[in-house]
Amino acid sequence: DSGVTQTPKHLITATGQRVTLRCSPRSGDLSVYWYQQSLDQGLQFLIQYYNGEERAKGNILERFSAQQFPDLHSELNLSSLELGDSALYFCASSAGQGGTQYFGPGTRLLVL
Amino acid sequence: AQSVSQHNHHVILSEAASLELGCNYSYGGTVNLFWYVQYPGQHLQLLLKYFSGDPLVKGIKGFEAEFIKSKFSFNLRKPSVQWSDTAEYFCAVNSGDSNYQLIWGAGTKLIIKP
């Protein structure tokens, strides 16, 4: 158990819908990272927040957004969902702005 | 731009065989190096990491990796694999120049035949 929690574990929704994924980092970690993992694209870094502020952006679509709240938990919002958004979404946390990342169990999203 | 290359996308071995997975990175400065493992249906777990000191790093489950600066490499090794080592293995690198963002390799899928 890494100490990073994610909810929900599974999510099934329809195209065009909007979902919110939630992540709680390890106690004391200030950075939260979001990743998408799919069979065809592999592991893709989406976005990082550090102490409430966006720190780095990767291959995140405009339909996706994230935020980190004062209690340091983070939410990833996915809107206008498409079939191709079906994937595993992982959250990771680290103590500082970089360094060792500890991963949560992931949310498996299925868009029908 | 920095990049990480894992040469083998798929590796199939028999139990008790020795394992070496290659990882090369492109950055010439000071780097931190990581290997993560993802067992089927699970999340990524840290296997081992190198920040400084002894270039031979020992990790969990009998894995080790050697940092060879002159070759820009951080290969993962295990002398005798088990069926339970079947997983995907990711190499990652960060540095001050990348603001300590992890740059990930594409992963190597390892299948151990019982």
- The pLDDT confidence band at residue A1, using thresholds 50, 70 and 90, is confident
Nearest CA distance, B99 vs chain A (angstrom): 7
Q: What percent of chain B has pLDDT over 70?
A: 98
Chain A residue numbers touching B32 (CB-CB < 8 A): 99
In 3D space, the residue among B75, B84, B98, B91 whose CA is nearest the CA of residue B22 turns out to be: B75
Residues 24-83 of A with CB under 8 A from B: 42-43, 45, 48, 55-56
Buried-exposed string B23-43: b where 16+ CB fall within 10 A, e elsewhere? bbbebeeebbbbbbbbeeeeb
Render pLDDT for B13-41 as a digit per residue (tens, 0 to 9): 999 999 999 999 998 788 899 999 999 98
Nearest CA distance, A103 vs chain B (angstrom): 6
Contact with chain B for residue A5, Cβ under 8 A:
no
Between CA B77 and CA B90 the distance in angstroms is 13
Contact B101 A45 (CB under 8 A): yes
Nearest CA distance, B81 vs chain A (angstrom): 24
Sort A18 into a burial class: Cβ within 10 Å, 0-12 / 13-18 / 19+.
exposed
Nearest CA distance, B106 vs chain A (angstrom): 7
Render pLDDT for B91-103 as a digit per residue (tens, 0 to 9): 999 887 766 778 8
Of B43, B100, B107, the CB nearest to A99: B100
Question: For position B99, what pLDDT does the model report?
Answer: 66
Of A48, A56, A90, the CB nearest to B44: A90
Between CA B108 and CA B22 the distance in angstroms is 9
